[in-house]
Amino acid sequence: MTETKEENNCNSTNKSSNEMEKRSIKWTAVLFYIYLHAFGLAGLYFLFVKAKWLTVFYFIFLVTISSIGLTAGAHRLYAHNTFVATWQLRLFIMLAQTKAGVGSIYDWVFWHRMHHRYYGTEKDPYNHKKGFFYSHVISNLLSAPSDLETYAKDIDMRDVDMDGYVWTQRKFYWIFFLLGLLVPVYVTIEYLDESYINSFLIIGAARLLITTNISWLVNSALLVWGLKKGDKFPVDDNSVFFLSKSYWLNYHYVIPWDWKNDEFGTYETGFITFVVKMWRELGLINQLKTATSDDVREALYKIATSKMTLNEALAEIKENAEEAAYKEKLIYRH
């Protein structure tokens, strides 16, 4: 009987180590996103039907800046440390990401790192095994689990803690958020001579609708642009006409620190990667980490011919990438 009790305790411990406490629906978030999508869709209609051309261009500009802050900034720079940025660029990224209206950089990075750390398990906040709708929508409507601190200790956030711009944004986030929401609306009314309702629906609601879904897509993109194990590449179904599916997003979950990997299924191409290349040419970033074919080939050889584990091989690839990135930084540029 004692053995049975100990076995039950052991099973209970294993279960708790592999699962998180149940997360409940945040109904305030549900109502907020229902209204956001309703007003945002109306704003998109007004954008195409009633808005002035300057308003359209201003809308595209704001969405583009916010997207850069989310993808190249919060994702590649802060979540995965794919490169090192100057203080001027980090200030720009903080302001651009704030305009997206998806929460502070610190919180965004924390949940994204947790997504990678516990990928495919019950602790994964955006668990892809539960389908696209859960990963893209439902997961963002759930409260933080009550036992969050028990496994959040495995998420190293020291590098983000040390960033002064991230600290400032986190401390005064709601002030920054309101300014980022109201100032663009005011600019549209005052300087572009747009109506109040068009300004609110387009520059306010529709813009936040787009940036919110871009932020959500970073965590659910694998289910859209990724391929499952054994899938044929290139894809030979009708999806090729509107989606460019590949294994690059799968690669991202193995080597997340490669700066060339795009958020939405491409490698070394795409608008955001182009922006990162421009930053490099302007001297705003350095120490860009990437995995070379030779390093991957050498790691696979060692796994096949020695007792090196996959994790050890990946650590060696990252070490080589960091060394190469630092050497490139030391190269004098005219």
Q: What is the pLDDT of residues 260-283, one digit of tens each?
A: 999 998 999 999 999 999 999 999
Which pLDDT score, from 0 to 100, does residue 307 have? 83
Which pLDDT score, from 0 to 100, does residue 4 have? 45
Look at residue 237 and tell me whether its pLDDT is greater than 70. Answer: no
Which pLDDT score, from 0 to 100, does residue 9 have? 47
Q: Confidence band (pLDDT; 50, 70, 90) for 3?
A: very low
Which pLDDT score, from 0 to 100, does residue 21 have? 65
Look at residue 238 and tell me whether its pLDDT is greater than 60. Answer: no
Q: Confidence band (pLDDT; 50, 70, 90) for 32?
A: very high
At 165-224, the pLDDT tens digits run 999 999 999 999 999 999 999 999 999 999 999 999 999 999 999 999 999 999 999 999
Average pLDDT over residues 8-36: 72
Cα atoms found within 13 Å of the Cα of residue 6, Cβ hemisphere only:
3
What residues contact residue 143 under an 8 Å CB cut-off, 6+ apart? 23, 24, 25, 26
Would you kindly state where each structural domain of the chain is located, as residue ranges? Answer: 27-228
Which class for 144: exposed (0-12), middle (13-18), buried (19 or more C-beta within 10 A)?
Answer: middle
Please give the backbone phi and psi of residue 81, each rounded to the nearest 5 degrees, phi first. 50, 45
Which class for 187: exposed (0-12), middle (13-18), buried (19 or more C-beta within 10 A)?
Answer: middle
Q: Confidence band (pLDDT; 50, 70, 90) for 239?
A: low
Which pLDDT score, from 0 to 100, does residue 233 have? 66
Tell me which DSSP letter residue 204 carries.
I
Look at residue 244 and tell me whether its pLDDT is greater than 80. Answer: no
Q: Measuring CA to CA, which residue among 126, 115, 117, 122 is closest to residue 147?
A: 122
Look at residue 120 and tell me whether its pLDDT is greater than 50. Answer: yes
Q: What is the mean pLDDT of the chain?
A: 90
Q: Angle at Cα 215 formed by Cα 209 and Cα 218, nearest 5°?
A: 140
pTM of the full structure: 0.89
Least confident of 9-18, 100-109, 144-153: 9-18
Higher pLDDT, 317 or 238: 317
Q: Which amino acid is at 85?
A: A
At 58-102, the pLDDT tens digits run 999 999 999 999 999 999 999 999 999 999 999 999 999 999 999
Q: Angle at Cα 174 formed by Cα 168 and Cα 178, nearest 5°?
A: 120
Q: Angle at Cα 245 formed by Cα 244 and Cα 250, nearest 5°?
A: 140
Look at residue 8 and tell me whether its pLDDT is greater than 60. Answer: no
